[in-house]
């Protein structure tokens, strides 16, 4: 049995599976303080999986210290900084525990269970924040840390971002940035002019990312893709406008695993690491 844990800013989900893309049981609860959430995770795992657990994979907001098994300075989980996340779960549950950036976990799941031939595959989550993951030759691309597509600067005089800089992609197209600028949650906005502006800014960010990573395929996930053509049509229009003529525009597809991408990714990481895949 493998366990996947997806830690989000508001919710934490725990899932149990024998093979990663076939979840047999799942639990969902509010993310609160570090100690309280760890206690809920341990309680849920003991309840869901009284038998032996081979390995646990965790998907978490970045940045992370994967060597120490800790979450660093993420604005969405301020009280979790440097807490011994991996060590505490190892002590309580006596099995290997692997920590991964949530967008990388989502990218891996979309690659393994959706788009297995794409190389490289670039995955963007368009949600409360903006995240990204790159799968190259079937593996999560590892630099000195996780890639941070949301914090690429697209306008140095742009609005303040959650990271403290000005003009990041996230400060223009994330759920929090849209709500801040237009006065209501993105899901409630249907004005095409708003989505044209969001689509244009997103096109600049995607254009930059493609110039760096040259992906064969871009997969878009996260809650904002539920806006459908209201966002996707202007995005496509502006991508064609901004794109370098010498490089073919990669295909853009929507995430096939929906809200479960990172959770299935966490299970896939546990399975892959445990089996040396
Ligand atoms: Zn930023």
Task: Measure 56 CA to ligand 1 centroid, in angstroms.
Answer: 30
Task: Measure 249 CA to ligand 1 centroid, in angstroms.
Answer: 26
Task: Measure 167 CA to ligand 1 centroid, in angstroms.
Answer: 7
ipTM of predicted complex: 0.99
Task: Measure 10 CA to ligand 1 centroid, in angstroms.
Answer: 20
Task: Measure 78 CA to ligand 1 centroid, in angstroms.
Answer: 16
**CA dist 262 to 15, 60, 84, 256, Å?**
11, 9, 21, 12
Q: Does residue 172 have a cis bond before it (omega within 30 degrees)?
A: no
Instruction: Tell me what pLDDT residue 270 has.
Output: 97
* Fold match flag (2-102+259-274 vs 115-255): yes
Instruction: Tell me what pLDDT residue 244 has.
Output: 76
Task: Measure 168 CA to ligand 1 centroid, in angstroms.
Answer: 5
Task: Measure 159 CA to ligand 1 centroid, in angstroms.
Answer: 10
Burial of 252 (C-beta count, 10 Å sphere; 0-12/13-18/19+): middle
Task: Measure 61 CA to ligand 1 centroid, in angstroms.
Answer: 14
pLDDT in 10s for each residue of the chain, 277 residues? 999 999 988 899 999 999 998 999 999 999 999 999 999 999 999 999 878 899 999 999 888 999 999 998 887 787 899 999 999 999 999 999 999 999 999 999 999 998 778 999 999 999 989 999 999 999 999 888 888 899 999 999 999 998 899 999 999 999 999 999 999 999 999 999 999 999 999 999 999 999 999 999 999 999 899 999 999 999 999 999 988 778 888 999 999 998 899 999 999 999 999 998 8
The architecture CATH gives domain 2-102+259-274: 2-Layer Sandwich (3.30)
Distance CA 235, CA 237 (A): 5
DSSP secondary structure string for all residues of 96-139: -EEEEEHHHHHHHHHHHHT-TT-SSEEEEEESSSEEEEEEETTE
Task: Measure 2 CA to ligand 1 centroid, in angstroms.
Answer: 34
Burial of 25 (C-beta count, 10 Å sphere; 0-12/13-18/19+): middle
Which homologous superfamily is 115-255 in? ATPase, nucleotide binding domain (3.30.420.40)
Task: Measure 172 CA to ligand 1 centroid, in angstroms.
Answer: 10
Task: Measure 26 CA to ligand 1 centroid, in angstroms.
Answer: 32
Task: Measure 242 CA to ligand 1 centroid, in angstroms.
Answer: 22
Element (H, E) at 44: helix 34-48
Task: Measure 149 CA to ligand 1 centroid, in angstroms.
Answer: 9
Task: Measure 43 CA to ligand 1 centroid, in angstroms.
Answer: 35
Q: Are 276 and 99 in contact (CB under 8 A)?
A: no
Closest CA to 21 of 4, 42, 46, 45: 4
Q: Are 206 and 239 in contact (CB under 8 A)?
A: yes
Task: Measure 130 CA to ligand 1 centroid, in angstroms.
Answer: 9
Task: Measure 29 CA to ligand 1 centroid, in angstroms.
Answer: 28
Burial of 277 (C-beta count, 10 Å sphere; 0-12/13-18/19+): exposed
Task: Measure 197 CA to ligand 1 centroid, in angstroms.
Answer: 19
Instruction: Tell me what pLDDT residue 143 has.
Output: 85
What are the residue boundaries of the structural domains of the chain, listed by start? 2-102+259-274, 115-255
Task: Measure 164 CA to ligand 1 centroid, in angstroms.
Answer: 6
Task: Measure 148 CA to ligand 1 centroid, in angstroms.
Answer: 9
């Amino acid at each position: 049995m493998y366990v996947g844990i997806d830690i989000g800013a508001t919710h934490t989900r725990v899932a149990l599976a024998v093979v990663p893309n076939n979840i047999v049981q799942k639990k969902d609860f509010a993310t609160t303080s570090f100690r309280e959430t760890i206690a809920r995770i341990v309680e849920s795992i003991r309840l869901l999986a009284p038998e032996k657990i081979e390995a646990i994979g965790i998907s978490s907001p970045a940045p992370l210290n994967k060597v120490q098994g800790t979450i660093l300075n993420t604005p969405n989980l301020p009280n979790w900084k440097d807490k011994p996340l991996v060590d505490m779960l190892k002590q309580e549950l006596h099995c290997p525990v692997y920590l991964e950036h949530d967008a990388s976990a989502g990218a891996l799941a979309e690659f393994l269970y959706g788009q297995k031939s794409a190389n490289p595959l670039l995955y963007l989550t368009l949600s409360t924040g903006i995240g990204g993951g790159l799968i190259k030759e079937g593996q999560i691309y590892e630099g000195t840390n996780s890639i941070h597509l949301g914090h690429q600067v697209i306008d140095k005089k742009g609005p303040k971002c959650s990271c403290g800089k000005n003009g990041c992609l996230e400060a223009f197209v994330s759920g929090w940035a849209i709500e801040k600028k237009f006065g209501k949650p993105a899901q409630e906005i249907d004005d095409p002019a708003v989505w044209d502006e969001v689509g244009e800014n997103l096109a600049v960010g995607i254009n930059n990312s493609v110039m760096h990573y040259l992906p064969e395929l871009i997969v878009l996930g996260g809650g904002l893709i539920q806006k459908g053509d209201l966002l996707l049509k202007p995005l496509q229009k502006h991508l064609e406008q901004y794109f370098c003529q010498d490089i073919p525009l990669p295909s853009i597809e929507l995430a096939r695993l929906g809200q479960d991408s990172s959770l299935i990714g966490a299970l896939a990481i546990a399975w892959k690491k445990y089996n040396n895949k």
